[in-house]
Structures are given as C-alpha cells and as structure tokens.
Amino acid sequence: MKIQAKEILYAVKDLNLTELQEITPNAIKNQLKLSNQEWQSGYSKTFNAMRVGSSTCLQIGQKYRNVFEKVYHGCYYLTDYGETIIDSLEDMTDKVETAQSL
C-alpha cells in the first residue's frame, strides 16, 4: 500500500496544481493511466486512507496520512502537510534523465 501511496503522490505532483486547486480521484486515476478496475482494486482504498480523518484500518504508514482534505463529495484539497510532502518529492523526470546520461 505504501507503493500505491507514493504513486498517488507523484501523480498529484505531475498534475502541477495551483494552490487551492481541487483534486479529484478521477484526475489521479487518469494521471496514473489506470482502468476503473485497477483504481477500485486498491488505489481507491489507499487514497481514502490518505485523507484527513480517515477511519480506515489500511496500513499505509503515518507519513502518507492527512495528505488530502475533503471539500465536498469527490473533491479534495492538499493539506499544508500534503503540500510539504509533494514539494519534497524528487522530480522523476530529472531522475530518468540523470540515469539515461550515465
């Protein structure tokens, strides 16, 4: 589940959201190029565990909790903590380019 949480975070980073822009699970699913079945088979539960006040017993690790705050059904904002996590992620494009140049 931690791997899915990281994938979700990188997908949000790749969406290049402006401050206070709404995030939808569908946008994340599309960014990850997942089918509805793939999203529902685990990513949806992981995303829900990453929300503020989530009561799920899914074990994703404390680092990945309280990243998203629900605005209304189907729409979320990044929390301040979520923004900090997203900002701390390494740029995957830079990592790929560096690896290819070696």
Q: Per-residue pLDDT for the chain (102 aa), expressed as one digit of tens each?
A: 678 999 999 999 998 776 668 999 999 999 999 999 999 998 999 999 999 988 776 778 888 999 999 999 999 999 999 999 999 987 654 444 433 344
How far the first Cα of the chain sits from its last, in Å, is 31
Angstrom distances, CA of residue 80 to CA of 8, 20, 32, 52, 77 = 17, 10, 23, 11, 9
pTM: 0.82
DSSP-derived 3-state class of residue 36: helix
Sign of CA dihedral 21, 27, 32, 36: positive
